Chain A
Amino acid sequence: MIEIKHRTSGQVLHRVDADSLEGAVLSALKLAGANLAGMNLTKVNFRSSDLRQADLSKATLTGANFYECSLAFATMDGVECTGADFTEAVLEGTHAHNANFSGSVFRYAKLPHCDFTGSKLVKCDMSVSDSRGNFSNADLSEADLRGAKMEGAVLRYAELTKAKLDGANLLKADLTHANYNPQQLHNARATGVVGRSKLEAMKKQRRSWWQFWG
């Protein structure tokens, strides 16, 4: 028997009659504030569960399913979370320093104010997500960020090699010392980007239709 308890009150939120949570189905549960730190949650199905403010730090979440989950203000520092599914999940204010999310799917996910500093997001599908968060020192190489909302996002020292940025909104984003090719921004909205030194090579800045007439 495994008991999932609240991270501060210790109240039991859910009991699982098994020796391990690996592969467990924990969908549509109310697990707000749960203490899941350090647990092996490989391939657990959390679909549509409420995990707001949960502590998942250093948990193993390989292949876990967080489809439509709320992970707002959850702690995910140091998680091993490759190949997970966060489609349409809410990760507003989620704190995930030095975590590994490589190969995970964040399509249509909402990540405003998240802090993914130093995390690996290699080959993640973050297309059409709301990623207005902090990705300083993050590795986003080969990530799919097409159509992502990254207005004001912090991408200082981020690795963006081969990341797809078509249609991404990077207005006023901070790309200081980030590693990318200016051509990657050809079809992105990149007005007001901070750290433009690498952008100077860009021959063209897209103009809105009304600016032409001025």
Chain B
Amino acid sequence: MTRILVAEDSATQATQIRGLLEEAGYEVDLVSNGREALHRLRGGAAVDLVLTDMVMPLMDGLQLVRAVRVHYSDIPVILMTSQGTDAIAIEALEDGAAGYVPKSQVNLRLVDEIAQVLHVSQVNRSYERLLTCLTHNQFSFQLSNDVALIDPLVDLLQQMMAGMRLCDSTGRVRVGLAVEHALLNALYRGNLEISPKDMLTAREMMFQGPPSAGVVEQRLSQSPYCDRTIDLDVTMSPDEARFVIRDQGPGFDVSKLPAGADPEVLENEGGHGLLLMQTFMDEVTFNAQGNEVTMVKRREA
């Protein structure tokens, strides 16, 4: 059974989280601060994912993220953020966390976020040894609007990155999540022109099976949406991986993107994917039309 180590100093919230996770079929190990979490890991506890609060006594979430990234890099960490911890949460995302869930949205998003991160972290390593011999890789995909193609594609990209040894396993998970968010954005927001409000529904549908009703299903069989494709160009070398993802939607006004740090982004579902892409990649740029994103991950020293 998948085991999640939860670091949360509030007994009430810990109980709520345990209930949610156990109901979703996870085994839960609760600790009250980052130091206890590290002691569990050092003691050899078999943990698949760490879920941590940001503000805790003895060792906070930021220190825990750094420690796990350095000493237990196979284990992804998800943050639980709250108002007032935005700056530290963004620092933790930059330092190695694989995702975040605002505490105000724990009931709505926690289980989905964990499922997504665990899925991406469980990469098939069957080709890992062979791929270490690879020195350069370049390929292009033209994808239909089929969400089922995204998982195996992200899995393939992670395997390629493992072979290139561009980053450690946590880094690969983070790149995989960034690509996944970019592809989902290209599919739903770009090609199908789904509104941010309806994206919530689409997101849920991704984990619960193919869409069976609503605007997503309609547009999957309606012109011009159904005729559009997603182009993905990938170039990998031992120095960097470059991903160019282009949809055939109308794009968006790039100038309307936030001009500065927005502390409310962590609480905003619409900014979730963009924030993760920016923190997990070394470079993220859009074309002027807003329908093509280029993401670069450089080799970790």
Contacts and interface: CB of A to CB of B under 8 A. Distances in A.
A146 B259 CA distance: 32
Contacts of A212: 278, 284-285
Interface in B101-124: none
Contacts of B69: 147, 167
A38 to B, nearest CB: 34
Interface in B224-268: 257-262
Provide the main secondary structure of the chain A interface: loop
A208 B94 contact: yes
Interface stretch (A134-142, A152-160, A180-188): A180-188
A120 B228 CA distance: 62
Nearest to A128: B67
A127 interface: yes
Contact of B260 (A107, A204, A214): A214
Given A166-B301, A186-B301, A187-B300, A213 B66 contact: no
A206 interface: yes
Contacts of A147: 66-67, 69-70, 95
B259 to A, nearest CB: 5
B163 interface: no
A124 to B, nearest CB: 14
A66 B260 CA distance: 45
A208 B91 CA distance: 9
Nearest to B38: A108
A127 B301 contact: no
Interface string A117-153: 0000000000110000000000000000011000000
Nearest to A144: B70
Interface residues of B, number: 32
Contact of B262 (A127, A164, A208, A210): A210
Nearest to B71: A127
Interface residues of A, number: 24
Nearest to A206: B282
Nearest to B296: A204
B95 A210 contact: no
B279 interface: yes
A212 B38 CA distance: 34
A210 B66 contact: no
Interface in B14-57: 35, 38
B278 A209 contact: yes
B301 to A, nearest CB: 5
Interface in A184-214: 184, 186-187, 204, 206-210, 212-214
Given A127-B71, A167-B96, A209-B275, A184 B262 contact: no
Contacts of A210: 258, 260-262, 278
Contacts of B90: 208-209
B82 interface: no
Interface in B257-301: 257-262, 274-275, 277-279, 282-285, 298-301
A25 to B, nearest CB: 22
Given A210-B258, A214-B259, A214-B260, A146 B282 contact: no
Nearest to B301: A186
Contacts of A204: 282, 298
B63 interface: yes
Contacts of B283: 207
Interface string A80-121: 000000001000000000000000000110000000000000
Nearest to A168: B66
B66 A128 contact: yes
A146 B70 CA distance: 7
26 contacts: A108-B38, A108-B63, A127-B67, A127-B70, A128-B66, A128-B70, A147-B69, A165-B301, A166-B301, A167-B66, A167-B95, A183-B301, A184-B301, A186-B298, A186-B299, A187-B301, A208-B90, A208-B261, A209-B94, A209-B274, A209-B275, A209-B277, A210-B261, A212-B285, A213-B258, A214-B260
Q: Which 10 A-B pairs have the closest CB atoms?
A: A209-B278, A147-B66, A210-B261, A147-B70, A128-B67, A213-B257, A146-B70, A186-B301, A127-B70, A213-B258
Interface of B: 35, 38, 59, 63, 66-67, 69-71, 90, 94-96, 257-262, 274-275, 277-279, 282-285, 298-301
